[in-house]
Structure 1
Amino acid sequence: MALTVGLWGFSWIVMKTMVPLIGPFDLVMWRYLIAFPVLLIMLLATRQTLAFPPLWLTLGTAVFQTMAFQCLSQLALVTGGAGHVVMLAYTMPFWMALFAWGLLGEKPTKRHVVGFVLAGVGLTGIIAPWQGLGSLTASFIALAGGVCWGLGAVLAKKMFQRHTLNVLTVTMWQMLLGAVLTWPFTLIIPQRPIVWGWELSLGLAYMAVGASALGWWLWMSVVRRVSASVAGISSLGVPVLTVILAWLLLDERPSAAEVGGIVLILAGLVIVTSAGMRRRLPGAARR
């Protein structure tokens, strides 16, 4: 999860620099279209299975997590014109916990509730709604992206619970389905022309290989191994890292509310992940 947070946290910095170079739907389609053969080559080289996973759960995961979340987040980033709007997408852990409760029967413990409350207050500090959220439409789009990611991640967890699957194979098919499902939007919805050059090429290489192929493979591995609630709240490390990187690389100095939000999110992460470890360890090891 730490590697996933690192890859995805930096990806928001990369995406911000790519906004003038490529439209949101073109970016999503191309990153997945490049990531698919990268993972295919890895599977062929290691002689792992290429079998297509269970259809409906795989398709549901692709629609909500792989395609809808990314497209809505990119659209909100472009139309909202404010980095804080993107943070609304990271309400995902709270939606994921809700869907996991209803679809997987993962009832949160008291420690989980405390951790979620702290992380929720911290995320509010980073978003800072009292400073304005820019376009109201963009805010709702970003929030819808978070809901879609939460539902898609729970469907992925359900698939791993029901079936014994190769995570790398599942990720490869997710990349292909994400590209195919996004392609019609690149034709229907007007976007800025693509400005091809070395900057866009480097950005696409990172988004395809680092953030998509490797990032989604790591994320799926996390979803398979831990509860949906723990996986979801762990992703809040991404906006925390994004704020820090934006400060260091883009000279976007965080406010006092953002610094306080980072501290609260980290506290919530520690509480929730330690609760998961306590449940997995035997009594002697726990002591």
Structure 2
Amino acid sequence: MNPAHLAFAALGLIWGTNFLFMKWASVYLSASQIVFLRVLFGFLPLLACALLTGALKWRHLRHGHHFMVMALLATVIYYYAFAKGSSLLASGVAGMLSGAIPLVSFVCAWILLRQERPTTRMLVGIVGGFVGVLLIAQPWRASDAGVDPVGVAYMLAGSLSVGCSFVYARRFLSNLDMSPLALSTWQIGFALVVIACITDFHGITRVIDDRRASIGLLFGLGLCGTGLAYLLYYFIVGRLGALAASSVTYIPPVVALLMGTMVAGEPLHPVDVVAMATILGGVYLLQRRGPATPEGPVAKPTAPPQTIVDASAN
């Protein structure tokens, strides 16, 4: 079997379990504490790999202002919003909402970059995807015991932040003479400094009392969900191309829904399945609407890997 296909499956599984791990950790930790530990333990394997390969250069720091913007948009705000949203929602619901990230990224790119006029198929994909989000959020049930609208708002805010980071990366970082590993290491390193400065560490060790939550946070979210995920993504891009790698975004919502139902015992409603299918259908229409353009900018992704869409999206 092609190792890239195994990496593809592993990456989808890793990202799909992140929402359950965040839900478990949120019982003991604040959102900023979850983000700090996730970034810390995700940064360590990236830094080790970057140092071993000689990817980091001191001259890269002249782009420090870009690293800071990406650290805020694509790591700190994005991770924080998703941690807050996951604490207020069922893990399966949070995971399904994450399926809208490519849709939000496309809308941000279309509004801010204006590189391509949307076709009818693209518009159908966007509308269909956001109809799926509405089916999950169910704002008409806000007064009932439905989905928490604040949690949905956090998830959408995180999607918006990372969508803007994708546009920023395309505009300012795609042509830098720097490897994807170096870009990601600097980004996560800057993010670690920022989140360390704003986190209240009081009570951060409480998560140790729950072995399931602590292992999920440090190993699942940190080492695997952040550090290993970057490395797997770049491996897939190198073997299969950015267009194929971007389709990994179809897997996490499905995995999150199954994990929430089978592991956490969360209820599964028919509307959830319909909503997830609608969101993924919208992403499919955007990604498969026509011939792909060269992959140059996408071969150097700096936003979190799960947010990168193929080059033809802009």
On whether the aligned pair clears a TM of 0.5, the verdict is: yes
Q: Does 1:118 align with 2:128?
A: yes
Three-state SS of the structure 2 residue aligned to 1:162 is coil
Q: Is the 8 A contact 1:122 1:264 kept in 2?
A: yes
1:97 Cα deviation after fit: 1.9
Structure 2 Cα separation of the partners of residues 21 and 125 of structure 1: 30
Q: 1:273 is matched with which residue?
A: 287
Equivalent residue letter for 2:188: M
> Any gaps of 5 or more consecutive residues in structure 2?
1-7, 295-314
Three-state SS of the structure 1 residue aligned to 2:174 is helix
Structure 1 Cα separation of the partners of residues 198 and 36 of structure 2: 9
1:11 Cα deviation after fit: 0.8
Three-state SS of the structure 1 residue aligned to 2:114 is coil
1:275–1:138 CA distance, 2 compared to 1 (3 A)? closer
Q: TM-score, normalised by structure 2?
A: 0.73
Q: In the alignment, which of 173, 182, 186 is matched to residue 186 of structure 2?
A: 173
Quick check: 62-71 or 175-184, which moved more? 175-184
Q: 2:197 is matched with which residue?
A: 184
Structure 1 Cα separation of the partners of residues 46 and 292 of structure 2: 34
1:237–1:130 CA distance, 2 compared to 1 (3 A)? farther
Quick check: 30-39 or 90-99, which moved more? 90-99
Write the deviation string for residues 230-257 of structure 1: whole angstroms up to 9, x where unpaired: 95x9646433331122122222232111
Three-state SS of the structure 2 residue aligned to 1:48 is coil
> Any gaps of 5 or more consecutive residues in structure 1?
282-287
Q: In the alignment, which of 164, 167, 171 is matched to residue 158 of structure 1?
A: 171
Three-state SS of the structure 2 residue aligned to 1:195 is helix
- Report how many aligned residue pairs link the two structures: 275
1:63 Cα deviation after fit: 0.7
Q: 1:103 is matched with which residue?
A: 112
Structure 2 Cα separation of the partners of residues 244 and 148 of structure 1: 27
Structure 2 Cα separation of the partners of residues 99 and 61 of structure 1: 15
Q: Does 1:69 align with 2:78?
A: yes
1:267–1:136 CA distance, 2 compared to 1 (3 A)? closer
Q: Is the 8 A contact 2:71 2:187 kept in 1?
A: yes
Structure 2 Cα separation of the partners of residues 200 and 256 of structure 1: 29
Q: 2:309 is matched with which residue?
A: none
Quick check: 194-203 or 36-45, which moved more? 194-203
Q: Is the 8 A contact 1:111 1:271 kept in 2?
A: yes
Write the deviation string for residues 138-181 of structure 1: whole angstroms up to 9, x where unpaired: 44333322221211122123344332321111111222122211
Q: In the alignment, which of 130, 155, 163 is matched to residue 142 of structure 1?
A: 155
Three-state SS of the structure 2 residue aligned to 1:187 is coil
Structure 2 Cα separation of the partners of residues 272 and 44 of structure 1: 37
